[in-house]
Every structure is written in structure tokens, then in C-alpha cells.
Amino acid sequence: MGTPVNIIVGSHVWVEDHSLAWVDGEVSKLNGEDAEIQTSNGKRVVANLSRIYPKDMEAPAGGVDDMTKLSYLHEPGVLQNLKIRYELNEIYTYTGNILIAINPFQRLPHLYDAHMMQQYKGAPFGELSPHVFAVADVAYRAMINEGKSNSILVSGESGAGKTETTKMLMRYLAFLGGRVATEGRTVEQQVLESNPVLEAFGNAKTVRNNNSSRFGKFVEIQFDKQGRISGAAIRTYLLERSRVCQISDPERNYHCFYLLCAAPQEEIEKYKLGNPKSFHYLNQSNCYELVGVSDAHDYLATRRAMDIVGISGKEQDAIFRVVAAILHLGNIEFTKGKEIDSSVPKDEKSKFHLNMTAELLMCDPRALEDALCKRVMITPEEVIKRSLDPLGATVSRDGLAKTIYSRLFDWLVDKINVSIGQDPNSKSLIGVLDIYGFESFKANSFEQFCINFTNEKLQQHFNQHVFKMEQEEYTKEAIDWSYIEFVDNQDVLDLIEKKPGGIVALLDEACMFPKSTHETFANKLYQTFKNHKRFIKPKLSRTDFTIAHYAGEVLYQSDQFLDKNKDYVVPEHQDLLSASKCSFVAGLFPLLPEETTKSSKFSSIGSRFKLQLQQLMETLSSTEPHYIRCVKPNNLLKPAIFENVNIMQQLRCGGVLEAIRISCAGYPTRRAFFEFINRFGVLAPEIVEGNHDEKVICGKILEKKGLKGFQIGKTKVFLRAGQMAELDARRAEVLSNAAKTIQHRIRTHNARKQFIALRKATIHVQSLWRGRLACKFFESMKREAGAVKIQKNIRRYQARKGYSKLRVSGLVLQTGLRAMAARKEFRFRKQTKAAIIMQTRWRCHRASSYYKKLKRASIVSQCRWRGRIARRELRKLKMAARETGALKEAKDKLEKHVEELTWRLQLEKRLRTDLEEAKTQEITKLQNSLQSMQIKIDETSALLVKEREAARKAIEEAPPVIKEKQVIVEDTKRIDSLTGEVESLKASLHLEEQRADNSERRYAEAQESIEEKQKKLQETEGKVHQLLESLSRLEEKLTNLESENQVLRQQAVSVSMAPNKFLSGRSKSIVQRSAEGGHIVGDPKPALDMHSHSIIQRDHPEVEEKPQKSLNEKQQENQELLIRCIAQHLGFAGNRPIAACIIYKCLLQWRSFEVERTSVFDRIIQTIGNAIETQDNNDVLAYWLSNASTLLLLLQRTLKASGAAGMAPQRRRSSSATLFGRMTQSFRGTPQGVNLSFVNGGLNGGVDTLRQVEAKYPALLFKQQLTAYVEKIYGMIRDNLKKEISPLLGLCIQAPRISRASLVKGSSRSLANSAAQQALIAHWQGIVKSLGNFLNTLKANHVPPFLVRKVFTQIFSFINVQLFNSLLLRRECCSFSNGEYVKAGLAELEHWCYKATDEYAGSAWDELKHIRQAIGFLVIHQKPKKTLDEISHDLCPVLSIQQLYRISTMYWDDKYGTHSVSSEVISNMRVLMTEDSNNAVSNSFLLDDDSS
């Protein structure tokens, strides 16, 4: 594991530390094989290169959830990863398929609620964060799918959380498979309720723990064929029996002894007990009480637990009587008797305890004394009774105590199993093993030897499983692993259990010889194992020995090995207690077969221990194992304390480091191709840039660096131990060279920049000084030429206004100087005047030219530099202007749109006013014409009534003819009279037809006039259409009257025909007409009106005189026609559902709401139920949702409860708290978008014109049933959409991982990248397409918009919950690039909401607030600069502190490599979370899907 060749100066390494186990530092100096290291805690240490390990400086800040992903798989790397995750409240970590659980010592309810269990249900192992639920789910799925039993081995020392982990396992298994309750309590509850009883009788205080389990517990959870928990059984193993008689300071005996001594006073007096110090089995140690534990309180709690598990009060008294008897038995001391080698009770005190023991066990005191002090030897000749010396009697006493306690414990376990109940037909089970861990104290005796032997066996099983998993991984990746050696501890097991030469065998052999001592036993061990590499003889001890276990060397003291191993099965004890008068005690010692009672056979605890252990291993071998290693982070039992040394010891004892050693024997480092290329692609950039496959690239990189022994699998690179460090060292070297090159370039750039600036400054200074010199020279020239007038004029010409004062002073000075020069040098100046003028001109011109050139060059340089800065600013402003411009443009468009809408609204108001006036005028005209037509129709109806009366009279005269009698052919007169009557009826019928034709012609003329007026008044087309429908209904009524008249005449003609013919013909005509009317989608009301008039207007005398059809038959016929009509897809008229209107109108016409009993409501509900039964077609569901909701609204506005009829459903109605229970109550104010005007124009005024009727109980019940069906249809539609988009949501969540896996450096990968992004957007577009199709379906079926808004609000809430929970549960999703991907998808959803408009989308977009703010946090830059206040109030105001903490700690930047928020912000979050720790709701960081 160490890689000394890769350690160089500057390397970051781990070095051992006594207080911290491992501490990180940096190598400052190398001295041969030693390295000097500057540690992070300020120390300077020197360590050998083989004892230091490299540190991964690129490890994720939040650690890794699976430690096989660590770049360096060694002890300090594992410890540091666990520490980082524990500080983030990530208490679970994988090591392959092994789960490490660190006890947080605080409540974390959000990790174990029902929503979390739902997340892990069926999730592949490793996809979500590590959790105990994931292990249970894998075991359950393997059991269900493969039909093989599974086991979960939970190990760890006391206080590590094994019991709590076991409870969570059983809770989750019950959640998966359901429960089978027994006596009101579930199986897992009963198992957990048995813990206090088993702890009282099986737990004790040890050196390290106050409540250490001194037995192993294997809980078998049984399942039936459906995968439900059907039973359970608790199997106990390896109870530490020797503790009953022998304990060492500062340990305690089993808890039950101390609990009984602290029982109420009447119990103590009953059993003659006292202070624990007065009993030999308890006073061998000075520890009698536990800090913070009340034995008296625990005694009462244990009694209550016994009641719960089904132990009766009588049995409880017997149990504690046996416990008290064991305490008294231990106080019996022996001394030499009168005979040689005999023994008797020592004194009166011993006799008192002997009598108390016999009294409590309900046996004879004399028989008890004989059983303790004598033995019976059976020979072929005679039976010999032999006395025991005091030492033998003491051994016999202790053997009896251990046997009684062991039998009592077994009885308790059997009783608990009977109480829980087992399933004999179960063929599948999941076992949970909770057993004591490896122990190593200052003084280790026989108990620690047996416990560590158990752990060696379990470790071998664990090693085989780990090696098997390694083999499966290698086989899966198709790599060669044949040369990998298996790390085994078989040599230690042979040392302990091998026959005949193992330690256990030698111990049994020594126990069989009476004169053997612990010294002779130790010498035998020294001689037998002197050359064994695992057995070590201490130099300063004659009886101790050391065994090199897998977790370290343990020094054992063999002083009491022989005494603790003896476990004689004494027939005298068996006979004594089986004859007890107490049925409970006798039940503990049932009679044995005769052959087993003839002699006392030797039995040892070691051998029995080994046998039980063998049975346990056979059970585990028959199941598929899963491992959970529980770790206690500190001995203070407080949260947020991580003791490195303590945890390292537990990891060694738990076998985790041994598993790592097995992994290191093979290929400890495994990297996916993409990760390997991403990290080590810099070692061979030319290979990465080439167009090669990822697998080929990885192989070429490794071959280029000359590594040997690596393997290339199907998806991963497998590296041997140390190769990762070597690659990192070479990578660090490449990066170091690159950094040096960059530094060289930067320094060159800085030096050149500094030189240019210095040169520019120098030139500027030179120009200033030269200018100053020129000025001085010019001033001197002016003073010299002051006397010359021409010079004065030239100077005045060239000087500027700024020199006006100087010019005045120069004139004064020139005047004086000129006078002086004229007096002194007039002749000289006159001769040199011309030369001076030329020199002045030339020098002035030269200085001016140089100054102008210098000024121009400076301006050019400044302009270029300022232009460069300005261009940078311009680019920034352009980028800002694009965003601002887009917003401003959108704002301008919206403002223009608002102004245009305002103008249109005003125009519409004016047009509507004009339209209303025109409508009023036209309606008046049409009403006049309608009245005239109504008068004509009334006249026609009167004529028809007269005809019907004439026909009725004819029928009344007909009955004598209908009687059966023989017709005489000669009676021609009668026939002629009948023929004459028929002819007269035909004539009247012909006359009525002519009148009807006249009426039709008049109606046609009226219709033509109406059509002409309709062309002139197109604005009032809606109202005219309704009036036309009214006229058509009147015409249909006229037709109905004519047809009935015709039927009556036919009856008069065919009076001799059978009555059933008339009935069948009439029914046929009605059905035919109704069927025809039902198929007319645009105008179905004529059929409806025909039904209603045929019922209402039919005369009662006809019904009485013609009993062919009873009233019930007619109602049944009408209901049948209605049901047949609505069962078909009638469609919509305008935006109104036809079926709902037909149902409502029929029920209203038939007065069905006001009757006490009717079956029409049940038939309508049944029709709706049949239509939507197992219906996945959203179009059909939307059709019925539209009809049912409209009908429900009509009923809500029409029905009112009537007195007692409304009292029955009132209670149920008031308790309606569902969505549609509230919806129906809100129907009193008609929701927007619900149009209730009927197709036939019968309710032109809408719901305000509906008359209320007093509804009876059937109508109110129908309304409730209809409400339930509306809710059901709504839920089916919503769930169908959820099912449709759920797979797409999963793809959207997983797509970033797929796309990132395809992103490889190099220009040749651009096509793959774009294809991956296209695939991701395609998933989101698929969701948008599903939403669009769903919206179109609802709109096509005219579902009320408020229902559409509600369903989309719930769907978006579902999307929000799924995406947000996936983000928090999967660390790979909580990255920068994934945030960009999801943000792009959310933009697609936002665009869809914009297109869908607020009428249908409503506030659906606001439901995505959690995922929107979380994604906004992921993609924001400069997170370390953000304060907690900015994050919680500005960026993510909706997210809780727990959610922010989860995102902040899981975030990783896979694109730019930036960090998450600062450590100060993380600390502040922890403080706030600690303050809210008592609030169970606030602790949950996941969202619940409450859209159901």
C-alpha cells in the first residue's frame, strides 16, 4: 500500500500519529529511506517511506459514497472519507456492497420516513445515497427474484447502533412486503418488544460497554409466497454461561440479578434477597451500579416487557424465583466432612442459602445437598455413591448454576418465538444477525477467547464473500484474476479448533484430567505451538499466551480457562430438578432417555460453543450474505465527535480494513474510462486528441508510462496497488512543468510590460526636461534681445494670452535693457543683428516642430490605449445591453399589447351596446311572429283533440266486437256498417292531413321570412338560432300529435288484431325515432322532447282503459332509451356536453329528483362506471370528466335538501374534504369557463334561471356518487399523465450522466457532445409533447378550465418533487453541468406554460419553485462569496436549511472545478439545523408528493 518511489519533496502524505491515528502533512525533506514531514497540526516528524501513504488532493470535498471509488484505498484515506461524511451528517458509506453505519447519536427522522423508503423501493444498489434501506432492498429483491434466502450480518460493539439498525431493517422489510398482524401487533413490533427481556437476561457490563450482549442473536424474518412477512424466529447462539459464576473487576454479571436485587421490598423479602454485595456471584467485582441507570426502574420495565411478549404473571414469578435461587446457590460454601474427601456445608449461613435454594426450586434440601456433594457411579456389579471434596462440590455447585441459567435463557427464547409466531410453510427468509464484536482488553480470559474465535469464523465467511464479490467484479469486466492470492485466516482457525491438536481440543483434554492445572495447560500449548506463526509465547509469563488475530494480537490469561470450560452434565442435578414440585423448574429439566442418565458424561463449554458456531455458519452459508458494520464514533455517546483512534480500532475489529487488504491484493483502484481519461489525459494529450475509442486511449496512456500488471475491463481501468500514486506523481510532474511554463510566460509578460511602462515614463520625463531647458534658453534669449524692438514685436506675435503679464514685464525690462544696450553695445549689436534674427527663427522652428511631434506621438499612444480599454468596456456593455435590450423589447411589446387590448375592450363595449339594442328590436319582432304561429298551432291542436275524442268514442264502441265468438258469414249488414265507419275515419284522417299540410306550408313561409331577417341581422345570430330551435321543437310536437292520431285511427281499424301487436309496433316506432334522434349530434333534443311529451301528454283514461302498458313499463322503457342514448359518444354542441344536458333534462322532466325510490340514478352511475372501467384512453376519460362535472354543477345549482330527506346524507356531505367535495360547494358561484346553456335553448339565461327542486334521498345520494366519480375520473387522468411522463423524467435525470460520460477532451468529440445534448433536450421535449397532447385532449372535450388548471398544477408539483428529490438523493446529479441541463429543460416547460396561457396553465409554473431555486444555486458562479443570508433570502427563499445544507455539501463542479459555499456558511447552517433538531418535519430535506 505504501509507494515510497513516488514520494518526493512537496508531496502531500499521511503519517501515523498516536493521538489522531493519522495526520496529513507535506514532505519537506528526504533522507534516504526517511522523510521529514511538516504536519498540518504544526509538528515536524520523521517517518520511514514505507510507513507513509500518499494523500489524494483532488478528492471531492464531500467525500465519496463508495470507498472503492477512492484513488488511494488505504487506512488514512478510509478514515478521512468517513470523517468528512460524518461531519456532513452522511452516516452511511459503502465499501463495495458492505455498508458502514456510524452512529450519529442524534435523531435523523428524515432518513427513515415513509417517503425515503418509497425512494429506495426497487432502486438499483448504489444509484442512491448509501442507506440501510438499500441493503434491505437488495436482500428482499434477491429473495423474491431468485427464491433464495438472504442474511444481513449486523456487527459492531455495543453503542454502535446495531439494535437501531436491525429495527430499521425490519421496518423496511415490512414496508416492502406488507405485514401479517398477530393480536393487533405486527411481527417486527413483537421482535423489537422482546429486546428488553433478552437484554435483561443476556446482557452485562463489560470493561468497554455498559450493555454488552453476551450472546449472538439471529432473527429469521419469514415471508410467504406473496413476499409478505408471515412470521419470525429468534435464534440465540453462544451464550456466555461462565459469566454466571465468574466475573472480573470492573465487569458485572447479567443484568437480571441486579434488577431482582432492586425489586420492590415485598419481592426482596419474598425471595430473601439483599444487597448485591452479599452474593458471591455478584461481589467478585466492585461494580454494582451503572451510572445513569436505575435497576429498580429497569426491573419494572422488564416485567412490563414480559407481559407484552406473553409471559404470564405466574411464569414471571417462577422465572425470578429461579434467578433468586441461583444467587442463593452461589453463597453455599463447602468444607471438609468427617469422611475422607467428603464435603458438607461450611456453616449456618451456607445451610440457610442451601435451604432457600431448595425452597425456591421446590425440591428437597437433603437431596440438593447430596446432588452437590456426592456422585453416583454405576458399575456392572453395583452402584457406588462417592463423596466429593470441597473443591469438587464447588465445581458441582457452579455447574448447576450455569445449567439452570442456560436452560432458563433457552426457555425465554422459545417462549418469545411462540409469542411471535412462525410460518411453517415459509420457504424464503431474511436473517438479521446481531452478535458481539471482537474484544481485546487488558485482561482477556476464556470469554474473550470464545468471542474472538466466533469473530474469526465470521471474518473468514466475510473474507470469502468479499473475495467472491471481487471475483464477480473481475469476471463482469472480463479481466484475468487467476494469479490473485486469497487472503485467508484459516491458519488461526486451525490453531483454535483443529482436531486433535487445536487449543480447544487441548483444553478439553486438560479438563478431563483431575490433576491438570492452568500451568500444565499453558505448557502443553507452548510445546504444541512453539513453531506456529500465529501463536506467541510471552517472555515474562508462564501461563499467558498470545494469538495473532485478524484484528491484531490479543494476550490471553489462561488462569481460569479450565474452570470456565467445565460443563458437566450431572445426572444427580437432572434427577433433582426434574422431580421439582414447581412445574416451571421441572419443565426446564425434562426427563432424559435412560441410556443418557446412566453415567456422568464430560461436556465442555468450548466444545458446545464450537458446535453452535458451526450451526450458525451452516445457516449463514445457506443464505446470500449482506454486511452492515456499525461504528461508534466516540465513547462519550455524543453527536459531532469523531475519535479517530477509536474508529480505526472498530474498523479493524469489524473486518473493514481486512476487506480493504483483500481489495489491495487485487486491483484496489478502479476508474471508469471517462474518469481515467479526464484525470490522466494530460500524460498523453496527443493520444486523447486522436480519434480513438476510450478503452484504446486508456491502454495507450498506461503503456506509454510503462506500467505493468494493470487490466483493461469492459468499462473500467483496474490498477494494482501503488500504480495510482505513480500515475499521480507523473501527472503532478506534467502539471508542474506546465505550471513552470505558464509562470515563465507570465513573468516574461510582466517584465516586458514593466519595461515598456518604464521606457514610456522615461521618454515623458525627458520631454518635460527638454521643454524646461528650451523655456529657460528662450527666456535668456528674450532678456538678451530685450533692447531690440523687432525682437519685442516677434515675441509679442508668438506669445499667447497666458503670457500677457510676462509680456508687460518684458516690455518694461526691454525698455531698460534697450537703453543700456544702446549706450554700451550699439555698434556690436548692429553688426550681429542679422545673424541673431536667423538663429532665433531657426531655433524657434526646431523647438516647435519637436514639441508638436512629441505631443502627437503621446496623443496617438493614449488614444490607442484608451481605445483598447474602451473596446473591453464596449464588449461588456454589449453583453449587458443584449440582456437589457431583450427585457426592454419584451416590456415594450407587452405595453403595446396592453394598450391594444385596452382599445379593443373599449371598442367591444361600444359594439356590444349597439348589438344589445339591435337584438332587443329583433327579439320584439320575432316574438310577435312567434305568437301568431303559436295561435295557429293552438287551432291545429284543438282540431286534433276533437279527432282524438271521436276516435276514442269509436274505440269504446268496439269491445263487444273484440269478444271471442263465432262470426257468421251471412251477417253482411254488420260488416257493411263497420266498413262504413272505417271509410268515414279515413275521410276525417285525409282532412286532418290536408290541414297539417296547410300548417306546414304556413310554417315554411314563416321560416323563409325568418331566414331573410337572419341574413339582415348577422350580429344576433346566436339568439335567432335558439328561436329557430324552439320552432323546430314545436314542429316536432305537431308531428308527434299527428302520429299519435294516426295510431289511434289504426287502432279503430284493426280492433280485431292482437293487443301485443299494437304494443310492439308502438314501441318499435318510439325506439326508432329515439335512436334516430340520438345519432344527430347537432340537434338531439327533438328525441328528448318526444319522450317527455309522450309521457306527460298521454291521457290517463287511455292508460286505465288500455292496460297493455303499465306506468312502470313505460318508465322502464324511457330509462332504457336514455341509457342506450348516453352510452354512445354524443359529442358536443358548441362547447357544451350533450350527454350531460340530456341526462339533466330527462331527470327534470320525469321528476326523478322528487321521488322516494327510483333506479335511474344507479343505472346512470353504472353506465359511467362501465365506460371508464380500466380505461387508459385519456380521450374517453376526458369526455366523461366533462359530462360528469357539468352534470354535477347542474345538480348543485338545482337540488336542495327537503326536510328529513336531506338529513341522512347531510353528515356525509359536510365531511367532504376532498378536492371535488370543495369543488361542488364552490359551484354556487359558477366557475369560469363552465357554460351551462342547453343545446335546445331551454336555458338561455344560464344557471341563474335554473329552478330549484326539493330533492329526496336518492337524488342527494346520486349527487354524492357523481362527485366520487368525478374525483375518480380526474385521478385516473392525472395518474395516466404521471405514468406517461415518469420514465421521461427518469431519463432527464439520468441524461446528464450519460452525456458527461461521452464528453472527452478533443475536437473530435464535439459531435458526440452535441448528440448527447440533443438526446437530453429530446427527453424534455418529449415531456412537453406529452403535456401538449394532454392539453389538446382536455380542450377538445371541453373540460372546464379550472379543472385543467388544477390537474396541470398537480402534475407540475409532481415534476418538482421528482426532480428535486433526485437532485438531493444522487450526488452525481448535484453538479454544475447537470444544473445547466435541467435549467435548459425547465426553460422548455416555461415556454410551454407561456403558450398554454394562464387560462389552462394557471399557476403551474410556480409549482416548480423548489427545483428552479435549487438549479439556480447550482449554476450560480462565485458561491464561496455568497453569505447565508443571501442564499436563504435572495437565491433560495423557498428551500429549508436542511435542503440548502444538503445541496451545499453534495455540490461538485464537474465543468470548472470551482468550490461550493464557504466553510463559514456550512457552519452557520449546522448551527441552525441543530436548533431545529427537535422538529421532525424540519429535519426532512425531501419533498412529499401530495398531488394525490
Question: Active-site residue 437, yes or no?
Answer: yes
Cα-based distances in Å from 1287 to 6, 1282, 1359, 1372: 48, 9, 12, 19
List 68, 71, 163, 1460, catalytic entry = 163
SS3 content of the chain, % helix, strand, coil (to 5): 65, 10, 25
What is d(CA 562, CA 1487) in angstroms, rounded to the nearest whole number? 61
What is d(CA 165, CA 159) in angstroms, rounded to the nearest whole number? 11
What is d(CA 1385, CA 1378) in angstroms, rounded to the nearest whole number? 11
What is d(CA 589, CA 1058) in angstroms, rounded to the nearest whole number? 96
Question: Active-site residue 212, yes or no?
Answer: yes
Place of cell 544696450: 821
Nearest by Cα to 326 from 414, 398, 242: 398
Q: Which helix (H) or strand (E) holds 548?
A: strand 544-549
Our separate counts of H helices and E strands in the chain read 50, 28
What is d(CA 556, CA 544) in angstroms, rounded to the nearest whole number? 6
Question: Active-site residue 163, yes or no?
Answer: yes
List 151, 195, 206, 212, catalytic entry = 212
Respond yes or no on whether the N-terminal peptide bond of residue 593 is cis (omega within 30° of 0): no
CA angle 1355, 1356, 1357 (to 5 degrees): 90
CA angle 249, 251, 255 (to 5 degrees): 140
Question: Active-site residue 928, yes or no?
Answer: no
List 75, 333, 439, 456, catalytic entry = 439
Nearest by Cα to 796 from 781, 811, 785: 811
- 3-class SS of residue 517: coil
- 3-class SS of residue 1476: coil
Phi, psi at 1319, each rounded to 5°? -65, -40
Cell digits for 1352?
A: 396541470
Question: Active-site residue 159, yes or no?
Answer: yes
In this structure, how many other beta carbons lie within 10 angstroms of the beta carbon of residue 753?
10
Length of the chain in terms of residues written: 1492
Respond yes or no on whether the N-terminal peptide bond of residue 500 is cis (omega within 30° of 0): yes
Q: Say if CB 159 and CB 205 are below 8 A apart.
A: no
- 3-class SS of residue 1187: helix
What is d(CA 1067, CA 1244) in angstroms, rounded to the nearest whole number? 33
List 209, 253, 1094, 1377, catalytic entry = 209
Q: How far is CA 19 from the centre of its chain?
A: 39
Question: Active-site residue 213, yes or no?
Answer: yes
Q: Say if CB 1158 and CB 1120 are below 8 A apart.
A: no
Place of cell 424534455: 1324
Cell digits for 1448?
A: 451545499
Question: Amino acid identity, residue 332?
Answer: I
Question: Residue-wise over 921-934: b if at least 16 C-beta within 10 A, else e?
Answer: ebeeebeeebeebe
Residue 1364's Cβ-side half-sphere holds a number of Cα atoms within 13 Å equal to 26
Pairing outcome for strands 544-549 and 552-557:
antiparallel
Place of cell 472519507: 81
Q: Which helix (H) or strand (E) holds 334?
A: strand 334-336
What is d(CA 1291, CA 101) in angstroms, rounded to the nearest whole number? 31
Respond yes or no on whether the N-terminal peptide bond of residue 250 is cis (omega within 30° of 0): yes
- 3-class SS of residue 1108: coil
Question: Active-site residue 158, yes or no?
Answer: yes
Question: Active-site residue 1330, yes or no?
Answer: no
Question: Amino acid identity, residue 1220?
Answer: F
Pairing outcome for strands 53-54 and 12-17:
antiparallel
What is d(CA 74, CA 771) in angstroms, rounded to the nearest whole number? 75
Q: Say if CB 466 and CB 96 are below 8 A apart.
A: yes
Catalytic residues: 158-159, 163, 209, 212-213, 437, 439
